[in-house]
Structure 1
Amino acid sequence: MSTKPLKTFLGCASVRTGTLVAGFGGIVLAIIGIIVIFTTHVEFKTIVLDWLDEDIVRIIITINFCMAIFISILLIVGACMRKAFLMLPWVVLAIMLAVGLLVSVLYTAIQFYINEKVIEGTVWIVFGIISVIIYIYMWLVTYSYFNFIWEETKRGAYMKDPFRRHY
């Protein structure tokens, strides 16, 4: 990737801290998502498989949330142990989910506009774009730490600094 890696998280914390925040945030949001799925009466639909029964869609979404929890745990363990290969599933999945989130936000907003619900569509697109920007920033923070660990691993044991550095 040709972008310059980030040096800090929010300008004051290390990218390792930002990576841990992303991991714990993913776990918390997934648990909240599972609770919302089973406690509210919202109609869930998929864009591609719109013929599926609503209960099957709930199960699919729950399995996705469980996988997000597992991958976030791998991210946290990988960040603490400085193992890039444990962080890799989150880095790969997160960028795909960012694209999926953007498509979902645009699709839902367009559906609101088609159904002449302009206020709901506008609110959805504003908060949706903000959430996509936050998500991509968290991915950049995690990718920067992942890249730092990856480069350090490639250098070998004798080329590493003997003391921990600020990352």
Structure 2
Amino acid sequence: MANPEKCLLNRCCCCYSLRTGTLVAGVGAIILSIFTIIVIVLNMLGIINVQIRMIVLDSFLTEFVIQIILIVNLCVTIILSILLIVGTIKRNVYLLMPWVLLGGMLVIGLLVSVIITAVNFYSNDDTLNGTLWLILGLIVFFIYTYMWLVTYSFFYQIWKEAGRGAYTKDPFRREW
């Protein structure tokens, strides 16, 4: 069986601690979520024009409903990022876990989204936007994946410091 510790990081960006990198990931997720909510609201008000689509839901939901769904998802991301920050400060594995799980799923979703969007541009003979989307999307994907790996490494480090599994109790500890 493969050793999962071989894939984990010891530092963030070669010189910062995993704790610092995890805090940056949490704060960055909050900032990007708030920025995206602002863009969606401005789009809903007609101040800017941004085409917002979802891969599966576009065929039977209106753009307004899709935008509401995205705002709700971004609010959940903000809540989970706050839990991540608090969990990082308190070194609490259980507060880190929701963000780590969501982040792992979003890594896959981001890659699929980048590829499908680029293919859509290419299929519409828009090679410039397809190429730009593919290049910039893959850069964002690699940065996001790295920040998730930093967070996961910190999560694993805290979990391992406990010296036992997440659901076991110390049989020699007495509760008085």
Q: TM-score, normalised by structure 2?
A: 0.86
Give 1:139 deviation, angstroms: 0.7
3-state secondary structure, aligned to 1:9: coil
| Larger Rg belongs to | 2
Give 1:154 deviation, angstroms: 2.9
Which residue identity does 1:63 align to in structure 2?
V
1:148 and 2:151 correspond: no
Root-mean-square deviation over aligned CA pairs: 1.4
The corresponding residue for 2:118 is: 109
Structure 2 unaligned segments of length 5 or more: list them.
Answer: 43-47, 171-176
1:80 maps to which of 73, 78, 89: 89
Choose between structure 1 and 2 for higher RCO, CA contacts under 8 A separated by at least 6 residues.
1
How many equivalent residue pairs?
157
1:92 maps to which of 101, 111, 129: 101
Give 1:58 deviation, angstroms: 0.5
Report if aligned partners of 2:26, 2:85 keep a CA contact under 8 Å in 1. yes
The corresponding residue for 1:120 is: 129
Percent identity over paired residues:
49
Give 1:42 deviation, angstroms: 1.6
Give 1:69 deviation, angstroms: 0.2
The corresponding residue for 2:41 is: 38
3-state secondary structure, aligned to 1:44: coil
Matches within 5 A, 1:43-54: 43-50=51-58, 51-54=60-63
3-state secondary structure, aligned to 1:30: helix
The ranges of structure 1 where at least 4 consecutive aligned residues each deviate by more than 6 angstroms after the TM superposition are none
Structure 1 unaligned segments of length 5 or more: list them.
Answer: 158-167
Give 1:59 deviation, angstroms: 0.2
